[in-house]
């Protein structure tokens, strides 16, 4: 029976050192291999040019190195680039590079598909196939970073976990990927430049507080009362707004990290001044730094539409008048289905 080979990237540096020492290799070899795995990620053992052929062959016999590969790329007129990645077991998952004048943001996925079925999101209409492992999430970031360097001559400046899937339902791998991304042996990125967005898993938000994470948190709110939120986000059944308010306050008490509310405006659903009042009330119960108003990007199987510019403007001004720190997030990459809520692995034409 063929033995199952272990993914070499699932070994820590210490485990790798121990393993190579048993083989009679010098300790520094482990650091060299580790750098090939994380600092300059290679997809093949043969590319590890500063270690001997024998050792490369041995690693090939003992381990696998299953990286993500770019399966398709689409370029938007506004500079946004959407990539479809293929996993070692043939699944597809999407990530987006969003350039603006001041920053280059990588929007990454944490699951293949999603189990939350939010009514306005294309990914919500797919089934969840599996969680992405921490090294696959790391690969998404590394590949988007490489794209950024090739296209703009700069590294990515920010990462948002706002792609496919619910990060807090893949808690362990999301945290481990961030640990790798922020470690000096990985990309050495500041956790303050990373935002994890959740549809509202109260238990997970509390856990983040207990784990004293350093990154920012965004709550996909989209309706500020239970009846409406329940209608568009089934997760609200088990995680109602009050439970989220308590969890966010706990998270803030433990970490003092920035919290943002994400609020997509839907025509005639959550865009009235009464809805704005609900949002203001909620904003005052949580130490939130910002409300991000988001333009809705229509998808073919949802009945929602985006409100008129005047309606958006009125909503925004009303919030500002009540001292809410609010920002309108214009959609990027709509022409290639790369905008917020549109990721669904559609075949590119």
Instruction: Based on the residue annotation, tell me whether 114 is a catalytic residue of this protein.
Output: no
Q: Give the contacts of 3 (CB within 8 A, at least 6 positions apart).
A: none
Give the dihedral of Cα atoms 138, 139, 140, 141; nearest 10 deg. 60
Beta strands at 104-107 and 92-99: parallel, antiparallel or unpaired: antiparallel
Instruction: Based on the residue annotation, tell me whether 121 is a catalytic residue of this protein.
Output: no
**For residue 52, which phi and psi values (nearest 5 degrees)?**
-65, 155
Q: Give the contacts of 110 (CB within 8 A, at least 6 positions apart).
A: 131, 132, 137, 161, 163, 164, 165, 166, 167, 170, 173, 174
Can you tell me the distance from the alpha carbon of 288 to that of 278, in angstroms, rounded to the nearest whole number? Answer: 15
Can you tell me the distance from the alpha carbon of 222 to that of 293, in angstroms, rounded to the nearest whole number? Answer: 9
Per-residue exposure over 80-95, b if at least 16 CB sit within 10 Å of its own CB, e if not = bbbbbbebeeebbbbb
Which of the following is catalytic: 107, 114, 148, 340? 340
Can you tell me the distance from the alpha carbon of 228 to that of 69, in angstroms, rounded to the nearest whole number? Answer: 40
Task: Please name which of 120, 164, 163 lies closest in space to residue 301, comparing C-alpha atoms.
Answer: 120
Task: Please name which of 198, 279, 281, 269 lies closest in space to residue 232, comparing C-alpha atoms.
Answer: 269
Which of the following is catalytic: 94, 133, 136, 295? 94
Active site residues: 94, 340
């Amino acid at each position: 029976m063929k033995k199952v080979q272990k993914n070499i990237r699932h070994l820590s540096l210490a485990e790798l050192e121990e393993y190579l020492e048993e083989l009679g290799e010098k300790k520094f070899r482990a650091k060299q291999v580790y750098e090939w795995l994380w600092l300059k990620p290679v997809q093949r053992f043969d590319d590890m040019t500063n270690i001997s052929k024998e050792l490369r062959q041995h690693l090939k016999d003992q381990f696998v190195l299953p990286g993500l590969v770019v399966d398709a790329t689409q370029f938007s007129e506004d500079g946004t680039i959407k990539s479809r990645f293929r996993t070692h077991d043939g699944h597809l998952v999407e990530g987006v590079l969003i350039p603006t004048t001041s920053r280059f943001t990588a929007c990454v996925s944490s699951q293949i598909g999603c189990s939350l079925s939010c009514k306005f999101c294309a990914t919500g209409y797919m089934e969840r196939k599996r969680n992405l492992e921490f090294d696959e999430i790391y690969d998404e970031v590394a590949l988007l970073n490489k794209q950024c360097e090739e296209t703009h001559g700069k590294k990515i400046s920010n990462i948002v976990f706002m792609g496919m899937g619910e990060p807090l339902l893949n808690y362990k791998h999301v945290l481990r990927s961030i640990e790798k991304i922020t470690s000096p042996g990985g990309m050495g990125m500041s956790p303050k430049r990373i935002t994890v967005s959740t549809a509202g898993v109260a238990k997970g938000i509390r856990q983040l507080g207990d784990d004293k994470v350093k990154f920012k948190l965004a709550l996909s709110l989209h309706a500020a009362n239970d009846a409406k939120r329940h209608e568009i986000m089934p997760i609200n059944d088990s995680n109602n707004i009050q439970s989220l308010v308590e969890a966010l306050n706990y998270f803030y008490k433990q970490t003092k990290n920035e919290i943002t509310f994400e609020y997509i405006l839907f025509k005639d659903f959550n865009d009235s001044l009464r809805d704005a009042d609900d949002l203001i009330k909620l904003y005052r119960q949580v130490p939130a730094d910002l409300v991000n108003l988001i333009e809705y990007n229509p998808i073919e199987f949802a009945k929602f539409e985006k409100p008129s510019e005047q309606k958006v403007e009125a909503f925004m001004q009303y919030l500002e008048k009540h001292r809410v720190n609010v920002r309108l997030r214009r959609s990027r990459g709509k022409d290639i289905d790369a905008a917020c809520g549109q990721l669904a692995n559609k075949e590119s034409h």
